[in-house]
Structure 1
Amino acid sequence: MRRRLTLVLLVLLSVQFSYSDGLQDRIKCNGVCVPLNQCKTDVGSFSTVDISDDVEVTCHHYLEVCCSKENVVNGSANKCENSAIKTFRDCGRRNEDGIGFRITHAKHNETEFGEFPWVVAVMQVEESQMELVKPDSKLICGGSLIAPNVVLTAAHCVMNRSAETLIIRAGEWDIATRNEVIPYQEQRVERIVLHPNFNRELLFFNLALLILEDNFVADEHIQLICMPPQNKAFYDENCFTTGWGKVDFSAPSYQTILKKIEVPIVPRQKCETLLRGTHLGASFRLHDSYICAGGLEGIDTCTGDGGSPLMCPIPGFKNKFYQAGIVAWGIGCAQKDIPGVYVRVSLYTDWIKEEIKKIE
């Protein structure tokens, strides 16, 4: 699979690239290949490397750039410059333009790096590796950071798992690499708190809090999402959701780069009517703990996106969001007039705040 993207550095370095699973003859790099944030250029300069689909990239990794030796900067020093924010800012602030670079020619609605800095990956560790300092882990669900040491996710993601097998990865973007301009952070889960009314069979009250062993350290790409006021209703908004799940139901694997989709909130009665037209049947009733969004052909969350946040804009603020929902379930993926179903977070704001107070 090939991807063709354009990265624009804040110092006006533009790099156009593609990468492939196969190996081809490479263009020679006359400097050294370094991560994007370790190559500087003179202010105002503009350098472009245009690699077409039938020509191999200069460097081995798409987040590396061929840099002249005199422009290579110390990696640790540069990361400090890029990571100036060390406190948790006002919640729910989206980095619309990303951090450190921008992408173009996105094929599957990939997010910018750090665009939604509260989105986390819920990973599971194999029991044989639990004692290792850096164990291998696999993605099982998404989640959102709502406090420095608390993650909100769907209860169905973790109901049959033990806390000690879970790791939360914040600041993640491409799960297939560790070469991002600012590294992700990981914390182990200390305790799983399922909602007390969670129904394991019918999946009502489908939310859980993951209490972490330690706090995440705030950074540009690691921030918190805002909780909505208790019982707040969302009408007619266009909202975002994210995830590393499949692009469609038949896709063979998950996405490697975090994707985003924009979906409209679907009125409750309309959603119920549309879902009755599926195999759920004419007697189906949508439980009060859910809201609906989407129903657009080719645009939807899918397998692997469970637990990820549904984020709706806060009125009067640009690029600031409440978490309105949690990806819960759907009938297939991305089918016209079949909305996705999300946990209605505003019903539980008070409960969430009380649980957080218990650990403060």
Structure 2
Amino acid sequence: MRNELIQFTKMIAAVIIKIAFYSLLIIANGETSQKDSSAKCGALNRRRPKRIVDGNEVPNPNPYPWTVFLVTTYRKETGESQKLFCAGSIIQPTFILTVAHCIPPNTERLHIYYGSSVDLNDPSTHNIISAIRWYIHPNYNYYVESTWEHDIAIIEVKQGSIDFENDQVGQICLPEDHINTDGQEMITAGYGNPQRYGASYRNPRLREATVYGVNSTFFGLPNHVNGSITAVGFNGFLSFYDIGDPLMLERNGVWTLVGVARYICLNNESQNCDPRAPMLFTRVSNYLDWIILTIINPHINYSDILDTFNHLEGETSSRD
């Protein structure tokens, strides 16, 4: 009787935790507050063309109002100051999602460029704000470049620093569950220039490209790629400065962030990207629990909570 009571308690606890998690996901996607324009996720600023040719620059206003440009300043091991250029996506009024290796160890400051018509060469087209904190996934190891597993990070900005109403900025929806991206047509957008290499050759305007999800086994990629999203592009491709770009999927007029660009040109070590090379994206749905819990209270260590959740859920499933 005692063992049955313990098992029943664990089952109820697992159900409560799961309900609480999905409730937090609904809040994160803004479905509970339609009065606040910033709370509506996944809505374009304007209608995008049906076909995107050669990775064109996006028209103004930027149809993907959640895309941001990131400039990270950090200290190398030699003590030299270095800048790193990446992209990110607004997922909440004060939180931006990117990949962890955009925020190296010894990062000193991080600036976010946002706006409805960002031109990096024209300061009048965008706003620049500073991050107040950033959160790296606890299982990520910056120094193991051969795998870069758990390559995901959250950037926090000050409340109200992003003006959603006047700057035509919005947030993208998080996936509510695993999405099979194999064979799916998706969009990615960023500030990289696939024809050139070097800090001075980043593209000043946002570019977009159509990509298609493929199974990683098709390219014979290593095991650590499993669990990520592999994609290829035919009419435009990413460059080395597209790290952190959103991988977006549209369903019924709502755009969802399914991946974040983590590695470009997997089969090419040269300066220019091969358009046939597969691109690797961190699969956002694999980290929903960490993302949501970090957004709700980033100062709590959730490792034990998540381990307990997985353990309880496993025991509940085994009893079923």
Give the structure-2-normalised TM-score.
0.68
Specify the SS of the correspondent of 1:325: strand
Determine which of 231, 236, 246 is the counterpart of 2:193. 246
Q: CA-to-partner distance for each residue in 1:24-51, whole Å, 9 max, x for gaps? A: xxxxxxxxxxxxxxxxxxxxxxxxxxxx
1:59-70 aligned within 5 A: none
**Partner residue in 2 for 1:288:** 226
Specify the SS of the correspondent of 2:281: strand
The separation in 2 between residues aligned to 1:247 and 1:293, in whole angstroms, is: 16
**Partner residue in 2 for 1:354:** 293
Answering whether residue 304 of structure 2 is matched by residue 304 of structure 1, we say no
**Partner residue in 1 for 2:137:** 195
Q: CA-to-partner distance for each residue in 1:31-79, whole Å, 9 max, x for gaps? A: xxxxxxxxxxxxxxxxxxxxxxxxxxxxxxxxxxxxxxxxxxxxxxxxx
The separation in 1 between residues aligned to 2:233 and 2:163, in whole angstroms, is: 37
The CA deviation at 1:186 is 2.9
1:20-59 aligned within 5 A: none
**Partner residue in 2 for 1:121:** 69
1:153-164 aligned within 5 A: 153-162=98-107, 164=108
Query: Does the CA contact (< 8 Å) of 2:216 and 2:225 recur in 1?
Result: no
Q: CA-to-partner distance for each residue in 1:104-138, whole Å, 9 max, x for gaps? A: xx9850012221000011123589xxxxxxxxx97
Determine which of 106, 113, 122 is the counterpart of 1:169. 113
Query: Does the CA contact (< 8 Å) of 1:121 and 1:139 recur in 2?
Result: no
Specify the SS of the correspondent of 1:165: strand
The separation in 2 between residues aligned to 1:295 and 1:244, in whole angstroms, is: 16
The CA deviation at 1:254 is 1.0
Determine which of 244, 247, 255 is the counterpart of 1:321. 255
Answering whether residue 41 of structure 2 is matched by residue 91 of structure 1, we say yes
Higher helix share: 2
Counterpart of 1:146, as a letter, is I
Cα root mean square deviation, aligned: 3.0
Higher relative contact order (CA closer than 8 Å, sequence separation 6+): 2
Counterpart of 1:300, as a letter, is F
The separation in 1 between residues aligned to 2:193 and 2:276, in whole angstroms, is: 20
Query: Does the CA contact (< 8 Å) of 1:115 and 1:221 recur in 2?
Result: no
Q: CA-to-partner distance for each residue in 1:289-326, whole Å, 9 max, x for gaps? A: 41111153x62111111011111112xx12x2111111
Determine which of 176, 179, 184 is the counterpart of 1:237. 184
Counterpart of 2:278, as a letter, is P
Answering whether residue 278 of structure 2 is matched by residue 339 of structure 1, we say yes
The separation in 2 between residues aligned to 1:108 and 1:237, in whole angstroms, is: 18
Q: 1:249 to 1:341 in 2, by over 3 A?
A: farther
Counterpart of 1:301, as a letter, is L
The CA deviation at 1:247 is 2.2
Specify the SS of the correspondent of 2:201: coil
The separation in 1 between residues aligned to 2:261 and 2:40, in whole angstroms, is: 24
Counterpart of 1:352, as a letter, is I
Counterpart of 2:71, as a letter, is M
> Percent identity, aligned pairs only?
24
Query: Does the CA contact (< 8 Å) of 2:55 and 2:209 recur in 1?
Result: no
Query: Does the CA contact (< 8 Å) of 1:249 and 1:303 recur in 2?
Result: no
Point out 4+ residue stretches in structure 1 off by more than 6 angstroms: none
The CA deviation at 1:168 is 1.4
Unaligned runs of 5+ in 2: 1-34, 76-81, 300-320
The separation in 1 between residues aligned to 2:209 and 2:118, in whole angstroms, is: 15
The separation in 2 between residues aligned to 1:160 and 1:198, in whole angstroms, is: 12
Specify the SS of the correspondent of 2:240: coil
Specify the SS of the correspondent of 1:218: coil
Q: 1:218 to 1:313 in 2, by over 3 A?
A: same
Counterpart of 2:286, as a letter, is L
Specify the SS of the correspondent of 1:347: helix
The CA deviation at 1:248 is 2.7
Counterpart of 1:198, as a letter, is Y
Aligned residues: 244
Q: Indicate the structure (1 or 2) with the bigger Cα radius of gyration.
A: 1
Q: 1:287 to 1:93 in 2, by over 3 A?
A: same
Unaligned runs of 5+ in 1: 1-84, 128-136, 276-283
The CA deviation at 1:359 is 5.3
